[in-house]
Structure 1
Amino acid sequence: MGNLAAFLLALAIVGIVFEMLRRKKLREKYAALWLVVGTGTLVLAAFPRLLNIVAELVGVQLPSNLLFIISILLLLGVCLHLSWEISVVEDETRTLAEEVAIMRAQLERLQNNASPRLKGSEDESSTPSSPK
């Protein structure tokens, strides 16, 4: 019964990832990771003895400990990758904010330089011309 629940859970993960991909809610590079997790869970649920065999090969006494080690390493990898992504986005945001500030300053300078000319041309057109 436990294997069936694990299998259905893994199947649900894979289905949700595909649906999120279809709706453009998840980018492909992140979906690949979750598809690997879902597929690995499907394989372990379908062949539960496989975890025992791998645990014996690696030298881990309890297969559940191996599962926890793999899960922790996977989560550490995800955290590291997301931290790297955040760093890249922060750099891009800072660069864009600096460029916007420079453009805004240039626009204000252009508007301030153009304002006296506009006022001067308005003054000339509004004063009546005197006949000679």
Structure 2
Amino acid sequence: MTDNNYLIALVGSVLILAGIVELLRRRQLKEKYAVLWLIVGLVLVVFTAFPALLTRISSALGVAVPTNLLFFVAILFLVGVVLHLSWEASRLESETRKLAEDLAIMRMDLNELKREKEASEDGLPTD
């Protein structure tokens, strides 16, 4: 890697890590995801700062091309994130359905109470 490319990659990975920290600081990234993304940002900075490290790790694991190892790990990570987000979406959908049902029951009870109150004010017998 040339010095210019190395510097651009290092600045880019540090900016990504700074962006993650800024999202955390502004509370736009929830704490339950914070550790995961901070680790990703730190790993990115480490591999950018020490590119030979990825080569040594891939050689130790028997992977011929270091970028193949990087892409494989990235794909596994993204599949894990998508699976987790799908689980969260399913859980939230069930919770939303339950809340909608509870709201419908509360509205029905409120309407019934209003009818009873109006009937008692009019002097009519209630059911």
TM-score by length of 2: 0.89
Partners in 2 of 1:3 and 1:70 — Cα distance?
22
Q: Say whether residues 1:53 and 2:85 are aligned partners.
A: no
Computing the radius of gyration from Cα coordinates, the structure with the larger value is 1
Among 33, 40, 52, the alignment partner of 2:36 is 33
Note the residue ranges of structure 1 that are not aligned, 5 or more in a row. 122-132
Which residue identity is paired with 2:69?
L
**1:96 deviation in Å?**
0.8
1:66 and 2:69 equivalent?
A: yes
Greater relative CO, 1 or 2 (CA 8 Å, sep 6+): 1
Task: Please say if residues 44 and 50 of structure 1, whose CA atoms lie closer than 8 Å, have aligned partners that are also in contact.
Answer: yes
Alignment of 1:1-132 (within 5 A): 1-120=4-123
Match of 1:126 in 2: none
**Aligned-pair Cα RMSD in Å:** 1.4
Is the contact between residue 6 and residue 41 of structure 1 (CA under 8 Å) also seen in structure 2?
no
Kindly indicate whether the alpha-carbon contact (under 8 Å) linking 1:3 and 1:48 is maintained by their aligned counterparts in 2.
Answer: no
- Report how far residue 58 of structure 1 moved: 1.1
Q: Identity over aligned residues, as a percent?
A: 46
**67-76 or 4-13: which moved more?**
4-13
Which 4+ stretches in 1 moved above 6 angstroms? none
Aligned residue pairs, count: 121
TM-score under structure 1 normalisation? 0.86
Q: Distance in 1 between matches of 2:19 and 2:34?
A: 10
Deviation at 1:92, TM superposition (A): 1.1
Q: Unpaired runs of 5+ in structure 2?
A: none
Any idea what SS the aligned residue of 2:63 has?
coil
